[in-house]
Amino acid sequence: MTNPTDGRIDLVLVHPGGRKQVYQTLADDLTAVEPPLWCRLIADYCRTRGHRVAIIDSEADSLDPAAVALRIAELDPRLVALVVYGHQPSASTQSLPAAGAVARAVKDAAPHRPIILIGGHAAALPERTLREEAVDFVATGEGPVTVDALLRALPTDLVDVIADVPGLAFWQDTEGGERVVRRSAPAPLVEDLDGALSGDAWDLLPMDKYRAHNWQCFGDMDRRMPYASIYTTLGCPYKCSFCCINAPFGKNGYRFRSPASVISEIDILIERYGVRTFKIVDEMFVLNERHVTAICEALIPRNEALGGALNFWAYARVDTVKPAMLAMLRRAGVRWLALGIESGSKHVRDGAKKALRSEDIVGIVRAIQEAGINVIGNYIFGLPDDDLDSMRETLDLAKELNCEFANFYSAMAYPGSPLYNQALEKEWDLPESWSGYSQHSYDCKPLATEKLSAADVLRFRDAAFTEYFTNPRYLKMVDQRFGDATSRHIRSMTRHTLRRKLLDEDDALQERAIG
């Protein structure tokens, strides 16, 4: 329990950021700056249980690790929580270097200040994380229950008390003087999303600092701010080989907030903060028709009252989008749907447990576009069954679909995904550092396949990005749909060249071989 005689902050939650390292020059004005969902959820969970809580969003406030450590010292909390979730599940791993730098800065300033690290990466690799990072504890699950219990156990050095905190990896000294990692029993998942994880902690965030992705506001870039992200479900029932979404939850599953709770939060954001541009962070929003319909039916009159100004984007699957729902989604303010198309090759999609037919993909994309909703096509190069021909097939499909935006990824074996376990079992060559798991970082290193080197995959991915976004057919569509200013913006975007260590090294090897 908190100490009523002392006015200290109990908990400081830190969103460590590291956008520059993750995105290079793209971080300046193209990427989103998104409110940290799990900082907000854990803050609300702990605050409603009597703990005094603060959030430091170092990404939004552009704070380096030393500045974060200074703020923490000023707040003097009983516990620091580094929350390493991200814009999407894979972002947890690539954000770990930034979190590690913050942890070291905090420990340099106050060696005895306890730190817990939370997030998808930590939940997937708790013991390794504890050994590698300057932290005292690691959450082996999603975090809220563990943090609350740990706050109630501190301050104490009694191992049996700490061991009673569920969902924790921690250090213990043995009788022989050896320091070993112990794990407590798993923490239960929070099922009461409306009450316990409503996330009503917007007052702790710098709400004037958040901005949407550039593409979400094609045609009107001034609407990138103010911006907010909300959730309506947690988890995912699917088992795609490359995805690590369920690492902190321990199983595939799908937990729902009530539509009333979702709408109440949206109303707060509209009325209190003037937000019109939203992201729905659910891994799969367009899935349960009853849930989606209830939310959309409540949003429609709000969108109409605002003159159609609401702009939501959300994830869907080709096989979960029902054409009959599309008009409703658009009236509710859903302007963008992101589809995981992944590959143009049915054989490669089947290997990734993404069994879709190409004709279904084309049909659904066209139906979405005809409903007035823009499509983001997500594609992956270098899945285990890929070769140059199948990757070319993927790029050709992307160009045929001509979605309003596209994301091109290299296959990565993210910790917590089935692909990571497969990579360890087969001793595949993985990135040397956690930042190497970022799609856009200098040291990005995707998986090699049986027929392609990691450099082959990365080179194809970067070339595919340029080929897609400089395609005259695409630029003509953008100009017609969003206006000349947006097509000029796209041309400017393609002038950003990502530096790649792997490609520099590969080019040097080839030059020496020729020489």
> Has residue 83 been placed in a domain?
yes
The torsion defined by the Cα of 207, 209, 214 and 217, in degrees rounded to 10, comes to 40
> Has residue 326 been placed in a domain?
yes
Domain that holds residue 298: 207-411
Of 114 and 507, the structure prediction assigns the larger pLDDT to 114
Phi (first) and psi of residue 80, to 5 degrees: -110, 130
Cα–Cα distance for residue pair 247/142, rounded to 1 Å:
9
> Has residue 117 been placed in a domain?
yes
For residues 159 and 218, membership in a common domain is answered with no
For residues 131 and 50, membership in a common domain is answered with yes
Q: What is the 3-state secondary structure (H, E, C) of 367-403?
A: HHHHCCCEEEEEEEECCCCCCHHHHHHHHHHHHHHCC
Tell me which residue has tokens 């979702």.
Answer: 262
For residues 239 and 340, membership in a common domain is answered with yes
pLDDT in tens, 143-177: 999 999 999 999 766 666 788 999 999 998 877 77
Reduced to 3 states (helix: H, G, I; strand: E, B; else coil), residue 417 is coil
Helices (H) and strands (E) in the chain, counts: 20, 15
pLDDT in tens, 472-514: 999 999 999 999 999 999 999 898 788 899 998 877 666 555 6
pLDDT at residue 359, rounded to an integer: 76
> Has residue 393 been placed in a domain?
yes
> Has residue 453 been placed in a domain?
no
Checking if the pLDDT of 88 tops 80, the result is no
- The Cα-based distances of 348 to 161, 231, 355 in angstroms read 50, 31, 9
Reduced to 3 states (helix: H, G, I; strand: E, B; else coil), residue 359 is helix
CATH (domain of 155): 3.40.50.280
- Region of residue 209 (phi > 0: left; psi between -120 and 50: alpha; otherwise: beta): alpha
Angle at 75 between CA 116 and CA 161, to 5 degrees: 35
Nearest to 143 by CA among 234, 210, 75, 69: 234
> Has residue 451 been placed in a domain?
no
- The Cα-based distances of 159 to 144, 149, 169, 179, 427 in angstroms read 21, 14, 12, 12, 37
For residues 130 and 224, membership in a common domain is answered with no
Domain end (from 411, 429, 448): 411
pLDDT in tens, 53-63: 999 999 999 99
pLDDT at residue 17, rounded to an integer: 75
pLDDT tier, 233 (very low <50, low <70, confident <90, very high otherwise): very high
pLDDT at residue 514, rounded to an integer: 61
Amino acid in the structure at residue 103: A
For residues 147 and 246, membership in a common domain is answered with no
Number of domains in the chain: 2
Crossing angle of helices 358-370 and 323-331, in 10° steps, is: 30
As a whole number of Å, the end-to-end CA separation of the chain is 70
- Model's pTM, two decimal places? 0.91
Cα–Cα distance for residue pair 503/443, rounded to 1 Å:
10
For residues 212 and 174, membership in a common domain is answered with no
Cα–Cα distance for residue pair 56/39, rounded to 1 Å:
9
Count CA atoms within 13 Å of residue 344 on its CB side.
Answer: 17
> Has residue 361 been placed in a domain?
yes
**Contact between residue 259 and residue 440 where contact means Cβ atoms under 8 Å apart:** no
> Has residue 195 been placed in a domain?
no
For residues 175 and 318, membership in a common domain is answered with no
pLDDT tier, 243 (very low <50, low <70, confident <90, very high otherwise): confident
For residues 151 and 227, membership in a common domain is answered with no
Domain end (from 353, 382, 411): 411
For residues 161 and 303, membership in a common domain is answered with no
Nearest to 143 by CA among 170, 172, 128, 122: 122
Return the number of other C-beta atoms located less than 10 Å from residue 307's C-beta: 8
Reduced to 3 states (helix: H, G, I; strand: E, B; else coil), residue 173 is strand
Checking if the pLDDT of 444 tops 50, the result is yes
Nearest to 352 by CA among 401, 315, 307, 386: 386
Domain end (from 383, 411, 439): 411
For residues 249 and 357, membership in a common domain is answered with yes
CATH (domain of 237): 3.20.20.70
For residues 269 and 179, membership in a common domain is answered with no
Q: What is the DSSP string of 270-312?
A: HHHH---EEEE--TTSBS-HHHHHHHHHHHHHHHHHTTT--EE
Cα–Cα distance for residue pair 233/230, rounded to 1 Å:
10
For residues 371 and 226, membership in a common domain is answered with yes
